[in-house]
Chain A
Amino acid sequence: MAIVKDSGFEALEKLKSTEPPVFLAPSSKSEEARAASQHLFEKLKPYNPKSPFDELLVDGFDAEQIWQQIDMQSQPLLSSLRQEVNRFAKNPEEIRKLGNLTLKVSQKDDVDEMDMDGSESGDDELEANESEGEEEEDEEDEDEDGDEDEEEKNGDNEGIEDEFFKIKELEEFLEDGEAEEYGIDYKNKKGVAKKKKQNLRDDDDEEDDEEDEDDEFGAFAGGDDEEADKLGKAKYTDFFGGKKKETKVKWKDLSEDEAEFENDQGDVKLSTHEKERVKLQSKIEQMEKANLDPKHWTMQGEITAAKRPKNSALEVDLDFEHNARPAPVITEEVTASLEDLIKSRIIEARFDDVQRAPSMPTKAKREAKEMDESKSKKGLAEVYEDEYVRTANPAFAPTTFSDELKKEASMLFKNLCLKLDALSHFHFTPKPVIEEMSIQTNVPAIAMEEVAPVAVSDATMLAPEEIFSGKGDIKDESELTQEERKRRRAKKKRKFKAESAKEPVKKARDATTVAGSEGL
């Protein structure tokens, strides 16, 4: 065991001494690293009863597997340690007890180791933290560091408190300093004081732990722990509180200066001014952040549909010009007004009817020459001859078919007109001039010679004497005596007999001829 431990310790030493860049490349340090991790694993084993491994198996295992083993050990260890820390935070007196215990425990093991551990705790811590930043084989180291830190914390009181340095003295000193600076007896340290302590560095962890119970800034306590872990990454910010922190510090300095006179609260809460300041600051931060972020799509100027989220235009109240008048809203008043208008118009009879536009006066349609589908009777020469004659000498031109038709039509119409005039009135109407010469019979000479009525009644046709000669004594029927009536009847009979005598003779003659012929 001792040999192993020694080898493990030596390995640690070697690792410590190597330059950091060596770790970046695969090198022979793997053996040493394995030995070192084994060593550390064994060290931590007593504190972790649940660990399934007795020792770290490194032969033939690759980094991932080794890491897993370490992880398995360290996970429950971490949680238990956290609990312990919380416990100590509540009950600081127990730390002393624990310190003694650990001292005893360590004494049981290897005093040298513990001393060395203790002396080199700081160095180890630093270097361990430094090597944390390296990637390859130092996953184990990280855990080692974690383990170391926790180990340290438990035993750190013992380690730190030497003849030169006492924690309590440190505390008192710090308190005095603060009191001087602020003129107030500080029992409860504020964040600024803490920051100052942090600036002093290294072993503030315990004090912070101790003050955890009074600590209003639990965050800072956590932060302190983290910072202690990250000593390897010590930066300007760690030492000088960072720019933000500084400003905060400054603000708080000022505020505390101002708040000196107001300090009745005695609690960690900010004064109203500080609160305003904080609010303003947050607002400013917000606005700055908003300025840095990309603008909302509505503020970006010309946007296409692809550049804005889907359906986003519906959510925004867009404003653009409508060139068309919006449709009129139909209300009762509108309809009432319309109806009144209609009624008044009807009463006035002022209908704005659309007038049919007068059509243009068209030219008279040309005489549509009828398409003659029969063989033309004239030869071509005659056709041209007729055409020529028509153009040259219209008088002698023979009438065309259309002309004859026209003539016939006109004749018919004239006759019709004549008859109609005659029917419509027996008054004098002048005789229409007809060019034709025709023999008129039964027209008295008076009609020919004079312009006389066309239709003449029977009364005028014959002379009175022609109608009745009027010989002898004319008597009306009622005036006749009986004898005269008998005489008239006898006369009638004689006439009738005479006429009938002629006819039978004729009939007889006809009959005889017929009979005669038949006989033959």
Chain B
Amino acid sequence: MAESTQMEVETATQTAPLPAKPTFKPLKAHEMSDGKVQFRKISVPPNRYSPLKKAWLDIYTPIYDQMKVDIRMNLKGRKVELKTRADTPDISNLQKSADFVHAFMLGFDIPDAISLLRMDELYVESFEIKDVKTLKGEHLSRAIGRLSGKGGKTRFAIENSTKTRIVIADSRIHILGAFTNIKVARSSLCSLIMGSPAGKVYSKLRNVSARLNE
């Protein structure tokens, strides 16, 4: 009995050794699309033109140095163009940089938008007030006022409790943050649009955010 097992083992070792498993290094961004360069172009809305000029260096530095992505401004076409370099480590860097610039164009501040560069799980969601409820004229204005609150306190309250950043541009609303946080912020904003008072929204926020932050 024991001999038979030994015999088996011997036979196994006698077979020809398999070739070593090949190891490949990860592809560089440059190499990924067959050595072609990849571009991203982000158009600049007119209201963000001067803030872009002011904050250009804050945008340029992290993208160029840390993301290793080429960035330039096309003044004629009013576009920010991004291009992969040879030493771009990862293709997602380009996308992240594009998202970062796009977030800035939507209206987010640089420190908030930078989080997009640093974290993967952050998203930007946009929707319009008319998607929630058809409002016209005064009602619309009042709804926007309700959303922001006095001195923006309602908006800040939502931002702080849900760890998101909100931009209200006329009837467009943009939310930056993690997926679940975006959902909470969106629901509270929707309830505000529908007409519930701020106090009610606060109480709901408190409950939900406590659960979120656990």
Using a CB–CB distance below 8 Å, which chain A residues touch chain B?
366, 368-369, 371-376, 378-385, 387
- Write the nearest CB–CB distance from B180 to chain A, whole angstroms: 13
* Chain A to chain B contacts (Cβ below 8 Å), 19 pairs: A369-B161, A369-B210, A371-B161, A371-B205, A373-B149, A373-B153, A373-B156, A373-B157, A374-B153, A379-B109, A379-B111, A380-B111, A381-B111, A381-B112, A381-B118, A381-B119, A383-B115, A383-B163, A384-B119
- Inter-subunit contact B115/A376 (CB<8 Å): no
List of A residues within 8 angstroms of B163 by Cβ = 380, 383-384, 387
Is B160 at the interface (CB under 8 A from chain A)? yes
Prevailing SS type, chain A contact patch? loop
Complex contact B119–A368 (CB within 8 A): no
Residues of chain B from 178 to 194 with CB closer than 8 A to chain A in the complex: none
Of B156, B176, B205, which one neighbours A380 at CB under 8 angstroms?
Answer: B176
Chain B residues with Cβ below 8 Å from A373 are 149, 153-154, 156-157, 160
B210 touches A372 (CB 8 A): no
CB-based A-B contact count at 8 angstroms: 62
Task: List CB contacts (< 8 Å) of B112-148 with chain A.
Answer: 112, 114-115, 118-119, 122
B206 close to A368 (CB less than 8 A): yes
- Is B206 in contact with A380, judged by CB distance below 8 angstroms? no
A383: chain B residues at CB < 8 Å are 115, 163
B95: chain A residues at CB < 8 Å are none
B182-214 contact mask (Cβ, 8 Å, vs A): 1 or 0 = 000000000000000000001001100110010
Residues of A within 8 A of B122 (CB): 380
Q: For the complex, what is the distance from the CA of A373 to the CA of B154, rounded to whole Å?
A: 7
Contact of A379 among B112, B160, B205, B209 (CB under 8 A): B112
Q: Which residues of B contact A387 (CB under 8 A)?
A: 163
Closest to B119 in A: A384
Measured between alpha carbons, how far is A384 from B165 in the docked complex, in Å? 12
Would you call B70 an interface residue if the criterion is a C-beta within 8 Å of the partner chain's C-beta atoms?
no
Q: Quick one: closest A residue to B121, CB to CB?
A: A384
- B159 close to chain A: CB less than 8 A: yes
Say whether, besides A379-B112, A380-B112, A381-B115, A372 and B157 are in contact (CB < 8 Å): yes
Chain A residue with the shortest CB-CB distance to B111: A379
Cα of A277 to Cα of B67 in the assembled complex, Å: 136
Contact present for B114 and A372 (CB under 8 Å)? no
**Chain B positions within 8 Å of A378 at CB level:** 111
Also in contact, A366 and B112, with CB within 8 A (given A376-B156, A380-B176): no
Known: A369-B210, A380-B165. 8 other contacts (CB 8 A): A368-B210, A372-B157, A372-B161, A373-B160, A375-B156, A379-B111, A381-B114, A384-B115
Q: Which residues of the partner chain A approach B153 to less than 8 Å between Cβ atoms?
A: 373-374
A372 touches B115 (CB 8 A): no
Q: How long is the Cα–Cα vector from A335 to B159 in the complex, in angstroms? A: 72
| A384: min CB distance to chain B, Å | 6
Complex-state Cα separation, A375 to B177, whole angstroms:
16
Write the nearest CB–CB distance from B15 to chain A, whole angstroms.
48
- Interface residue B51 (Cβ < 8 Å from any Cβ of A): no
Expressed in whole angstroms, the Cα–Cα distance for A387 and B119 within the complex equals 13
